[in-house]
Amino acid sequence: MMFISVIIPCFNEEKHIEECLKSIINQDCQKENFEVLCIDGMSYDKTRQIIQYFTDEYQFIKLIDNPDRIVSYALNKGIVVSRGNVIIRIDAHCVYPKNYISVLVNKLFELNADNVGGLWKTNPGCPSRICEAIAIASSNSFGVGNSLHKTGTSKVVKTDTVPFGCFRRDVFDRIGLFDPDLIRNQDDEFNGRIIKNGGTIFLVPDVVIDYYARDTLRKMGQMYYQYGLFKPLVNKKLGSPATLRQLAPPLFVTSILLGFVLCLFMSVLLPFYLGFISLYLLISVGVSVKEAIRNNSIFLIALLPVVFFIIHFSYGWGYLSGIAKFLIFRTGSVTANINR
């Protein structure tokens, strides 16, 4: 008999956890065939009270403590105590369509896959123009590259990663749990391990997740910095180099900083440096104008270039910091106060 375990790592998610849990409760599959494990990092807002309300109402929802406050630890704790032969890892920042579980579970076995996931529809984290710009930039190919789960696809695609994931339980028996060294990018590393061990991952466009982006530029920049910071460690653990897409932001940051220093000593390089900056700004503004027209919002022309730059610079600076920390100085894992 099929039994499904839904694992939700969370920390200070009072804004989103209620809608997230409601969307799971409203799934079109039989509730006696699944459990929902909320692995909370000792939240100090109202997250725990909200979850407790649902645990009192629904026996299949449970609250489990995660004093380590790191997503990898939460996922591993959830997997160990779960009863399902299918494990679905979801995010508290999202709302899920009614057919999310049923479609992904069916596709998991229909495609004989090890992991399947759906598309993201990135929504503003709050009703403001800045939040609108963050959401648009986070799903634009200029902002985030060719991440199909963010930019979209119309057909089932074999891929190297998907958001969150619907896994066969035996994949964890074969290749292990999530890497506790990784505060961010633990999904990327785990999915990389699946492929390295001959497994398959598919992106399924039949289900679309409503993802709510970070609601301030600071939180967004912090998140992309952390994504960049842990990417070199992921590449080191997988023993494979980064893709060209991953290398673009650190090369961009290096060009800006190193180019500025070189121009101080070699003025002949100044025209090339200014040309590079101008080209980036031209592309950024061009994409922003296109999005402003598509979304009927003239303010995006001014806001989007700023958001694009913060995404690119934060990720790039994080990546360079990760190279220094994990590859050059080899200081191991990082513990940090992560704003999830």
- Residue 267's contacts (CB-CB under 8 Å, 6 or more residues apart) are none
Long-range Cβ pairs for the range 325-333 (8 Å, 24+): 325/229, 326/232, 326/233, 326/236, 327/232, 327/236, 332/181, 333/180, 333/181, 333/182, 333/183, 333/233
Using the predicted structure, report yes or no on whether residue 312 has a pLDDT greater than 90. Answer: yes
* pLDDT per position as a tens digit, 36-72: 999 999 999 999 999 999 999 999 999 999 999 899 9
Per-chain mean pLDDT for the chain: 91
Q: Does position 128 have pLDDT exceeding 50, yes or no?
A: yes
Band (pLDDT 50/70/90 cuts) for residue 242 is low
User: What phi and psi, each to the nearest 5 degrees, are found at residue 157?
Assistant: -130, 135
Instruction: Assign 33 a pLDDT band (cuts: 50, 70, 90).
Output: confident
Per-residue pLDDT tens over the stretch 172-215:
999 999 999 888 889 989 999 999 999 999 999 989 999 989 99
pTM of the model: 0.88
Per-residue pLDDT tens digits for 257-267:
999 999 999 99
% pLDDT > 70, the chain = 96
123 has which bridge partners? 212
Please say if the pLDDT value at position 32 is more than 90.
no
Extract the tokens encoding 208.
Answer: 């679309």
CB 34 within 8 A of CB 3: yes
Residues 6+ apart with CB under 8 A from 222: 314, 339
